[in-house]
Each structure stands twice: as structure tokens, then as C-alpha cells.
Structure 1
Amino acid sequence: MRLLPKMAKKVNGSWVLNDDPPETFHIQGRATLIAPDDKWMYVDEKKAINVLFKKYLKTLTPSHQLLLSRFNFQDLAFKVVGVGSVGTRCLALLVTDSLDNPLFIQIKQALPSVLSPYFPQKKHDKIQRGQKIVYGQRLMQSASDSFLGWAKGSLGYEYYFRQLRDMKVAAQIELFSELMFGRYAWLCCDILSHAHARAGGMAPQVTGYLGNNQDFAEAVVRYANNYADVVEKDYEAFRTACRNGTLKAQSDEDFRADLSI
């Protein structure tokens, strides 16, 4: 219940997700940012999500199917949860059990892998994109989200599902000392490399290819420094465009005010 006041409110006995554009808004609501001619604007949301949810349940273990069958639909809203979600179809689904306990499910569009152009496509490969993402996460993580699943919607979009958590702990790297930041970066790299080694199954071959010298490490450092330079130049160009009026810059408060939220 402690999560509900932040993300939702009760209206006429039912829980409704709060509109908080541009991060969260109802697709067919007055605060929507979806284009008027988008097919989503003409879909029966409740009917579509019920069909999609049933497909999703079939991808879970029997125990989790039974668990989620005890929850009832409350509301659905568009929700951007990070930079990687911008431009994708990403939804927050709120369901509650008989005791009004909430469960937030994220439904995120599964896009083609950026690596797909470099691999031959097999004619018999009919695995959904969401399914591929779920398989990849299960390979990389020793303990994946219990609610990981996938489904394809009526409009042809493919999705993967997972629990939406709004209580993640994030390191405040801006408060780190140089020594602490270095150790934190090393830990992140170590964990990520082990995860990819688990998933790819090519760790010995990669290790042999890289060898024992520092050539690869130095190449990665050069790439990172060059990338940082590009980001700084892009950000300065963005700030200049905002200052001279080429781009309209608004605070979240002004943006919501324009939408009369």
C-alpha cells in the first residue's frame, strides 16, 4: 500500500495511475502525448490488455500463473522509466489482489537487436523479440525477475514484461571520491563481464583473442574518452539551441502547466 499514494489514487472505488507527463500519462487521456492519428488512440485498452495479459501468463511458470490470476486489472498508463525507453512503447500496468495489495507490471516494447544485421536470419527462427530478451536476461542473471515474460499485441508490437519497481537503490556517484569511483567502476565492469561470459558461452575464445597485453584495454579507454568528448559537444550544442530559441526548453512544472495537469 505504501507505493500506491505515489503512483496512483483511488477514484470511485478503483485505483487510477497518476498522470505525471512527460514520464507517465494515460494514452487516451487529456494529458496524452501520443499523436492523434496513432493506432493506439483507437484501441479498446481494457480488452487489448486482457488479451495481451493472458498471452503473457502462458510464458510464466505454473506457480506464477496461479499467483497473478488472483490479481485484477485496475489501470494502464504510458510510462518512460529511463533513457532506453524513449521512443518505445512502454506501459505501466496496475493490478491489485482481493486485499487491495498492488502489483505494478512494466510492459516494454521489444525492438530488434542492434546486432541483428550482423547475423544471418534463419527462416525457421520465429522466436518473438520479447522472448529473446527474456532468455538473455535469464542467462545473464543468476536470479532473474520472477515475473519476466513476453507477448505480442494485436497491433503487431512485441513486448516483454517484468515487475515495475520504483524503489531501486542507485549509487550517488557524484559524491564519490576519485578512489571510490574507480573501485565502483571496476566492480560494475567485473559483474557485467561475468554476466556476458555466462550468456555468450565464448569466454575462453574471447580471452584467447584478447591475449595478455593491454592493447584492448587501451583501445577501450581511447574510445571512452572520445565518446565523452562527443557527448560534451552535443550537450553544448543542445544548450546553445535552447538559449537562442531553436529548441523550446521547459521545466517539468511548466510542461505540466501547459497541459493543465
Structure 2
Amino acid sequence: MTEKKVKHPSVEERASQGKGYREKTPISSHTGWVPASARPDPVALLEEQNQTREQDLVPVRHGRMLASPFTFYRGAAKIMAADLKDMPRAGLDCQLCGDAHLSNFGVFASPERNLLFDLNDFDETLPGPFEYDVKRMSASFTIAARSNAFTKDQTRDVTLTAVRAYREAMAQFAQMRTLDIWYARLSEEQLVAAIDLAVATLKGKALKKAAHGMGKTARQGVAKAHTRDSLQALSKLAELADGRYRIVSQPPIVIPARDLGDSYGLSGDEIEHVIREQFRSYRATLPEDRRHLLERFEVIDVARKVVGVGSVGTRAFIALLQGRDQQDPLFLQVKEATRSVLEDHLPKSRFKQPGERVVQGQRMMQAASDIFLGWTKGAQDDRYLYWRQLRDMKGSAVVEGMKPVGMTFYANVCGWTLARAHARSGDPIAIAAYLGKSDKFDRSITDFSERYADQNDKDYEAFADAVRTGRLEAADGV
């Protein structure tokens, strides 16, 4: 086996490299974006993606995307990936989230049971240009702010805040020791302290009132996250039948395995056999201590469960496991992993198994990851899965209810978090040198975001028209 030779340039050399990329790809090159002349039909890209999805759930996906231009954007990662390939890039790569919109950040428990704020969706993760994630994030703030009826100035301020937070955080990480970057994280205590500081520094009665409302909402969200565990999920998702817990049928969102035979052409006994084989294969991808821990649980029931917006239609399941007794449940989520939408335009993942691509990308970017994160090949050809806990103190912000003060604070937190995730795998010194100390990058990416939000509106209208004309089928309110 050939040993990989790793170069270790000096701090000065890394900074010089970053500055050099500014000559090749000037900061100003990110402004003035216009769609490519041969830009693919956005509806056709969604139709292409739908071909490998559960056909009975495709209308559900369309219905969720139809709710607003923002929910459309959430499901349109493939469309943006096709646009990003034609955009300027400096040449500074890192591990990308691949779908870093503002709803893919949130809180969850670390293995030590501390609540952390971080990125929480890695279905599209892949190494690539750092600008891809920054543009995906910044445009999401512009689109969300418009959807919330912010003024033009408020929308711009929110977007500028997200990009500025990224740039300034990267400058901080460029000054930090390597292990300090790796251990950096945003804890519940730090998050609450930052909220208190933001409230204290605002001036004006109206702003202070809005900030206090933001603080109250954030604290309620954090408190709620602490209650979201497998025992709480048991009360919401399961029922006692013949002395045993089983998952409640709630079609089309939740369909237990006992009712899925017609969908997959398997009998109930065959489905149960497949599930247990899958569980054994998944356990083998875990470290020895986690494998031993998981062996103390037995699989009780499994169901298909629809989740998200963009991922609707990919195969997604929940598994109910039981430990010492009926009051010792563990819910695992099993999601299908497909090729990243970025692999259409960037080098393919070095992991042949898409589930492993997701897991390894998540471990690279997150400050701490789920102890039960693993992967397996599906029972059918060309189907791959990754596994994690369903509810592990997970919580996310309600974007649709945010006011300008709250979204500005949230933009600051998300920008810092994305920079920290990129600094773990990329070169923070070179990236910081490329970004520079002025606000030129902030303004350039904000200009892009406004232009891309305009295009997203047009794509959304084309999508809505496809539904109206019958080209696409959509299910409302599911």
C-alpha cells in the first residue's frame, strides 16, 4: 500500500497561496451572476431525480416544495448544483455539506449528552469548493427573508450578516492551533449567552421587544430539544398491542413494515428477515464498543417514515428497538443514501458506498456525531442506507416565524458554524487570506444571493405551473 505524502507548508506559504487565488479568481467575480445560456430546465432536473424515488411519495415531495419559494429552494439542491458548476471558484476545497441552507442547521446531543448547535444534514456531502456551501447558505437567507416579507434592506442585512460571520470566523480559525479548531463547538450555554448579549446590546424599545421575543422562543426550543428522546418518541409513534409495543400506522407518512409487503413485493416474514439482516450488517460498521452496546437491544418493529422536503421519496425508515424492558426504547432512523447531487459536476466520492460517504462526511464536519452513526447496503441492488438515532435531543429553528432581529442573530450563528465545519477539513489560513479583511466578499456573495433568489422565484413559478398543467402531481398538506 502506497503511503500518502502529506505536505506541510508554513503559515506564511499558506497565506500567500490564499492571496494568490484572489488574482486568479477575484472577489468581484462572484458578483453579477446570470444563469448560463444553456441552463437545464429546472423541472426536468426534478423529474430526473424522481425516477429513483418511491413513486407514491413523489407527489408528497412536490406538495411540500409547492408551499413557498423557500420550501422549493430546500428541495432544489440538484438545480443549484447544476448552477454552481458554472460559477467562479478559487480552488480552495474542503468537505462540503452540499446542502447548507439555513434549515439544515440545528441542535442535537453530543455523546456526552451536551446540547450542540451544528449542521445536521449531510445527504449531499462531498469534497469541493468552499464557495458552494457559502452560496447555498447565503441564498437561503435571502430567500427565507423574502418569504417572511422582510424589507429589501432587512433582507440584505440578514444575508450580509451570514457571509460576514463566515468570513470573520474563518479569520479567527486561521489564528487558532490545529487541535483547538477540531475541538471548537457551539454549546447550549454559549448559544444562550450569545442571545443574552444580543438582547443587551440592542437599542430602541421595538428592537428590544423583538429581541426578548427571540430569546424566549430560542429558550423554549432548547428546552423542547431536551425532551426529544426515544422515550418521548415511543409515546408519539408507538402503541401497545398484545403486550408489545409496535409502531402506529399513519399513512402515507408512517407505514409499518407489516403493511409494506405490497410495496416491495415481499411477505411479512421476508421483510422481517431482511430487516434483521440489515441490522446485523449495519452493526458491523460501528466501532467495537458501540456494536457491543447495540447488541443489548433487539429490533421490535420497523416502519417507513417520510421526512424532510428534498429527501421525500428516498427510502426512509424508523426502527423501534427495546433494551432491558418496554420502558427502555431506542428509535433508529434509516435513510437511503444516493449519489450526491454534486457528483454530477465534481469528482465522484472516494467511497463507493453512498451511505459511508454520508457518514464519513458528517464525522468530518460536525463537532460531535451520533454514537450510532453507521451504514449498510440495502437489500435491493443500487440501494444504500445510513443509520442514526431518530431523536437525540434534536431541534431546529422555525424559519417561517422569524423576525428580522431573530434571523439576523441566526445568520450570525450559522455563518460561524459553517466556517468551523470547513476549517476542520480545509485550510483556514488560505481561505481566510482569500476572503480578506474587508467586506468585499460579503457584498459580492450578497449580490449573488439576491440574483439567485430572483432565479429561484422564476424556477418556483415554472414548478408551480408544471403542477397546474398536470406535468407534475402534488399532494397538498401531507
What TM-score bracket applies, with the shorter chain setting the length? 0.7 to 0.9
Which of 429, 446, 452 is the matching residue for 1:221?
A: 446
Aligned to 1:258: none
Contact 1:56 1:151 in 2 (8 A): yes
The alpha-carbon deviation at position 112 of structure 1 amounts to 1.1
Q: Compare 240-249 and 18-27 and name the one that shifted more.
A: 240-249
Aligned-partner residue type, residue 291 of structure 2: Q
Which of 230, 240, 244 is the matching residue for 1:14?
A: 244
CA distance in structure 1 between the aligned counterparts of 2:321 and 2:283, rounded to whole angstroms:
14
Which of 368, 386, 411 is the matching residue for 1:185?
A: 411
Aligned-partner residue type, residue 91 of structure 1: F
Aligned to 2:283: 57
Instruction: Kindly report which structure 2 residues correspond to 1:121-160, keeping only aligned pairs within 5 A, or say none.
Output: 125=350, 127-156=352-381, 157-160=383-386
CA distance in structure 2 between the aligned counterparts of 1:183 and 1:142, rounded to whole angstroms:
21
CA separation of 1:66 and 1:186: change in aligned 2, threshold 3 A: same
Q: Residue 103 in 1 paired to residue 330 in 2? A: yes
TM-score between the two structures when normalised by the length of structure 1: 0.79
| Long gaps (5+) in structure 1 | 253-261
CA distance in structure 2 between the aligned counterparts of 1:119 and 1:240, rounded to whole angstroms:
31
Which of 75, 79, 83 is the matching residue for 2:301?
A: 75
CA distance in structure 2 between the aligned counterparts of 1:249 and 1:171, rounded to whole angstroms:
25
Q: Which has the higher helix share?
A: 2
CA distance in structure 2 between the aligned counterparts of 1:237 and 1:139, rounded to whole angstroms:
37
Q: Compare 56-65 and 19-28 and name the one that shifted more.
A: 19-28
CA distance in structure 2 between the aligned counterparts of 1:236 and 1:137, rounded to whole angstroms:
34
Which of 25, 28, 36 is the matching residue for 2:255?
A: 25
Q: Residue 168 in 1 paired to residue 420 in 2? A: no
Which of 265, 282, 290 is the matching residue for 1:41?
A: 265
Contact 2:320 2:329 in 1 (8 A): yes
The alpha-carbon deviation at position 83 of structure 1 amounts to 1.5
CA distance in structure 2 between the aligned counterparts of 1:98 and 1:239, rounded to whole angstroms:
51
Aligned-partner residue type, residue 371 of structure 2: S
The alpha-carbon deviation at position 214 of structure 1 amounts to 3.8
The alpha-carbon deviation at position 217 of structure 1 amounts to 2.4
Which of 424, 428, 436 is the matching residue for 1:203?
A: 428
Give the structure, 1 or 2, with the largest relative contact order (CA under 8 Å, sep 6 or more).
2
Equivalent position SS for 1:94: strand
CA separation of 1:216 and 1:165: change in aligned 2, threshold 3 A: same
Contact 1:74 1:95 in 2 (8 A): yes
CA separation of 1:158 and 1:172: change in aligned 2, threshold 3 A: closer
The number of residue pairs the alignment matches comes to 243
Aligned-partner residue type, residue 42 of structure 1: L
User: Percent identity of the aligned residues?
Assistant: 38
The alpha-carbon deviation at position 235 of structure 1 amounts to 5.1
CA separation of 1:77 and 1:248: change in aligned 2, threshold 3 A: same
Contact 1:27 1:41 in 2 (8 A): no
The alpha-carbon deviation at position 155 of structure 1 amounts to 1.0
Contact 1:242 1:249 in 2 (8 A): no
CA distance in structure 2 between the aligned counterparts of 1:220 and 1:163, rounded to whole angstroms:
36
CA separation of 1:145 and 1:217: change in aligned 2, threshold 3 A: same
Contact 2:335 2:385 in 1 (8 A): yes
**Runs of 4+ residues over 6 Å off in structure 1:** 237-246
Q: Residue 4 in 1 paired to residue 229 in 2? A: no
CA separation of 1:243 and 1:139: change in aligned 2, threshold 3 A: closer
Aligned-partner residue type, residue 283 of structure 2: L
| Long gaps (5+) in structure 2 | 1-230
Contact 1:110 1:133 in 2 (8 A): yes
CA distance in structure 2 between the aligned counterparts of 1:193 and 1:134, rounded to whole angstroms:
20
CA distance in structure 1 between the aligned counterparts of 2:443 and 2:388, rounded to whole angstroms:
37
The alpha-carbon deviation at position 213 of structure 1 amounts to 4.4
CA distance in structure 2 between the aligned counterparts of 1:87 and 1:249, rounded to whole angstroms:
13
Equivalent position SS for 1:130: helix
CA-based RMSD? 3.0
Aligned-partner residue type, residue 265 of structure 2: M
Contact 2:377 2:384 in 1 (8 A): yes
CA separation of 1:234 and 1:28: change in aligned 2, threshold 3 A: farther
CA distance in structure 1 between the aligned counterparts of 2:466 and 2:310, rounded to whole angstroms:
23
CA distance in structure 1 between the aligned counterparts of 2:374 and 2:249, rounded to whole angstroms:
26
TM-score between the two structures when normalised by the length of structure 2: 0.45
CA distance in structure 2 between the aligned counterparts of 1:224 and 1:19, rounded to whole angstroms:
42
Q: Compare 217-226 and 61-70 and name the one that shifted more.
A: 217-226
CA separation of 1:249 and 1:73: change in aligned 2, threshold 3 A: closer
Q: Compare 179-188 and 87-96 and name the one that shifted more.
A: 179-188
